[in-house]
Amino acid sequence: MAPVLPLVLPLQPRIRLAQGLWLLSWLLAVVGGLTLLCSGHLLVQLWHLGTFLAPSCPVAALPQVALAASAVALGTGLVGSGASRASLDAAQYPPWRGVLGPLLVAGTAGGGGLLVLALGLALALPGTLDTGLEEGLGTALANYKDTEVPGRCQAKRLLDELQLRHHCCGRHGYKDWFGIQWVSNRYLDPNDQDVVDRIQSNVEGLYLIDGVPFSCCNPHSPRPCLQSQLSDPHAHPLFDPRQPNLNLWAQGCHEVLLGHLQGLASTLGNMLAVTFLLQTLVLLGLRYLQTALEGLGGVIDGEGEAQGYLFPAGLKDMLKTAWLQGGAARRPAPEEAPPEEEPPKEGLPEA
Amino acid sequence: MALLKVKFDQKKRVKLAQGLWLMNWLSVLAGIIIFGLGLFLKIELRKRSDMMDNSESHFVPNSLIGMGVLSCVFNSLAGKICYDALDPAKYAKWKPWLKPYLAVCVLFNTVLFLVALCCFLLRGSLESTLAHGLKNGMKFYRDTDTPGRCFMKKTIDTLQIEFKCCGNNGFRDWFEIQWISNRYLDFSSKEVKDRIKSNVDGRYLVDGVPFSCCNPSSPRPCIQYQLTNNSAHYSYDHQTEELNLWVRGCRAALLSYYSNLMNSVGAVTLLVWLFEVTITIGLRYLHTALEGVANPEDPECESEGWLLEKSIPETWKAFLESVKKLGKGNQVEAEGVDAGQAPEAG
């Protein structure tokens, strides 16, 4: 039963390992804390933009899993620093002996699993975001005029604030506003001939205009904002088409939001990768330290050379041992009977 | 009759010195915080100096920065003194400096208190600066092609959007100035010509506001032009319409923002001042306790610490006497120089 990946650890290398592990653990704790903050930030951003993401889109899964994974990483870092500090002091180590084994298992299984899941979600995010935003923004634009319908009355305010804050207009450009009715019927004069003409000329009876809401206006424009009659070149005679059009925001909200959220998600993904690497190193180091000290029987200052290993035996041997132990536990009665028969048998030949 | 006498044995003296050492280092941190707050305030004032005609007073943030630096210096020095106070040999070299140092500390605390007060009192001067600056800023709104003023439109638009305000005192301020540049007016149009002719100064005034005054919470699309003409818009009454535009003036909005900022900074400075006063009192007790050690060879003996050697009126009298003597001393010296030998026996 050869141990897997054994490493001989005399006293000095053991001390070096413990000290290095202490530093790495604190680094892991700091990085875990930062990842926690980053995933919290992403969660808050997604919550703010909730109206513009389709409810069927499970984007919130990534920050939640990342939150759990970074919490486990933070815990691992703190445990690692405590254990490595204790392993240098003979008086402090005994309470850690019993706890370290299960903690390592929990750290590897829980932390590792969550981190891998979070990394997978981070890679899959862009696709889900795209479809979610497409649907969500389309609904928001359609609900812009429904300021008196319960459940949709905030759509106008939220979309205006989005366009003002993120410097965007429409879904993919300002022309999206030409295709929907964003002026509510309550504010349309039924006696105005122009209004009646427009509504009658539209197949679905919608009042469509070549104008945009005020929130599309770009403050950098040198002239007061032109919001209406945008497709008519003669409506604003002094508008110079050769000048770059600074009048409205050029970008669509879809691209802006996608870029913003993807940036946050990729930062989070990078930090999760670094956390994963650090956590693996810390757990490996702790395992080697634990097994080396077990080899010495828990005596810290023992000058003897102890062997640290990952697993006490190869995978096949471990499974066999586990199976035998499990089998022994399941058949206690037959085990007791043979020893009872043994002594009478031994007695007979003697006699 | 000493003021607020406290008995100190060796252990108490040591505890006092250690506690003071810790408090001094915490106070260095507090000094850094004051420095940071002063810097933050300075940056906030600079960010919006366009709105204040670049004439705002930077007295408060500058003094906060100065106080922060001084506090760091004094408190680290005091920390060193308290650390050395436990060792008689090291303390001996600090002994002659302690009394003037304590006087400087008292002066510093007074100035810190005054600076904290100033934080609360700055509001008045800020109000007039803001009113003046915003008025001028709005006048230059249309000058987007004049070098030096071309950013005023963007600044005012972003200010109105960010602070949710319109105009100086309200949206009607925009009715009184020409905020549409002549470059974008069609002078061949009859309407434009009529308006300009009907104005005494030949300005094009409209009852309209820029887009940045629009309130997103309004249920109807924003009405920016012909605001006082009810018949120009369907189902619109300008007397009762409240949600269409921001009602607050930018002067009130900015003033409330800066007032809140200054009040918080002032409150923090007052807390730090209290902390500093506690440290100065503790240092005084340590000073007098160590002075009162009767036998320098026996550090275990008890001593007394006090704030003032005599009661307040007696101390004040003694202080006046010493000032008078200083004056008389100069006179006596002058006479001595003239006459050669002045009777100093008196």
Per-domain residue ranges of chain A: 17-140+255-311, 151-228+245-254
CA distance B54 to B209: 25
Confidence of residue A337 (pLDDT cuts 50, 70, 90): very low
Confidence of residue B333 (pLDDT cuts 50, 70, 90): low
Q: How far is A142 from chain B (nearest CA, A)?
A: 14
CB spacing of B150 vs A217 below 8 angstroms? no
State the virtual CA torsion across B135, B136, B138, B139 in degrees, nearest 10: 120
Contact pairs from chain A to chain B, CB under 8 Å: 69
- Which residue among B181, B214, B221 places its CB closest to the CB of A223? B181
Confidence of residue A347 (pLDDT cuts 50, 70, 90): very low
- Predicted local confidence at residue B342, as pLDDT: 46
Give me the numbers of helices (H) and strands (E) for chain B, helices first please. Answer: 8, 2
Task: Let me know the angle formed at the C-alpha of A271 by A265 and A275, rounded to the nearest 5 degrees.
Answer: 140
Q: How far is A44 from chain B (nearest CA, A)?
A: 21
Residue with tokens 């926690």: A36
Q: Does A244 touch chain B (CB under 8 A)?
A: no
Question: Residues of A numbered 130-169 whose beta carbons fall under 8 angstroms of chain B's beta carbons: which are they?
Answer: 147-148, 153, 156-157, 160-161, 164
Local structure of B303: helix, strand or coil? strand
- Predicted local confidence at residue A184, as pLDDT: 92
Q: Which residue of B has its CA nearest to A189?
A: B234
CB spacing of B216 vs A156 below 8 angstroms? yes
Q: How far is A213 from chain B (nearest CA, A)?
A: 7
DSSP type of residue A59:
T
- Better-scored residue on pLDDT, B177 or B327: B177
Q: Are strands A306-308 and B6-8 parallel, antiparallel or unpaired?
A: unpaired
How many Cα atoms sit within 13 Å of B310 on the Cβ side? 7
Q: Which residue of B has its CA nearest to A222?
A: B144
Confidence of residue B275 (pLDDT cuts 50, 70, 90): very high
CA distance A60 to A39: 10
Q: pLDDT of B65-115, one tens digit each?
A: 999 999 999 999 999 988 888 787 888 888 888 888 999 999 999 999 999
Q: Global pTM?
A: 0.79
State the virtual CA torsion across A153, A159, A164, A168 in degrees, nearest 10: -170
Task: Let me know the angle formed at the C-alpha of B22 by B17 and B27, rounded to the nearest 5 degrees.
Answer: 120
Confidence of residue B45 (pLDDT cuts 50, 70, 90): very high
Q: How far is A96 from chain B (nearest CA, A)?
A: 34
Are the C-beta atoms of residues B274 and B187 closer than 8 Å to each other? no
Burial of A343 (0-12, 13-18, 19+ CB in 10 A): exposed
CB spacing of B220 vs A160 below 8 angstroms? no
- Predicted local confidence at residue B35, as pLDDT: 96
Q: Does A220 touch chain B (CB under 8 A)?
A: yes
Contacts of B252 (CB under 8 A, 6+ apart): B165, B169
Chain B hits for A146, CB-CB cut-off 8 Å, are none
**Test mutation, B184, B185, B204, chain A, max A CBs within 10 A:** B184
Give mean pLDDT, residues B50-62.
88
Q: Is residue A173's pLDDT more than 50?
A: yes
What helix, strand, coil percent values describe chain A, rounded to 5? 65, 5, 30
CB spacing of B216 vs A215 below 8 angstroms? yes
Q: Is residue A340's pLDDT more than 60?
A: no
Burial of A129 (0-12, 13-18, 19+ CB in 10 A): buried
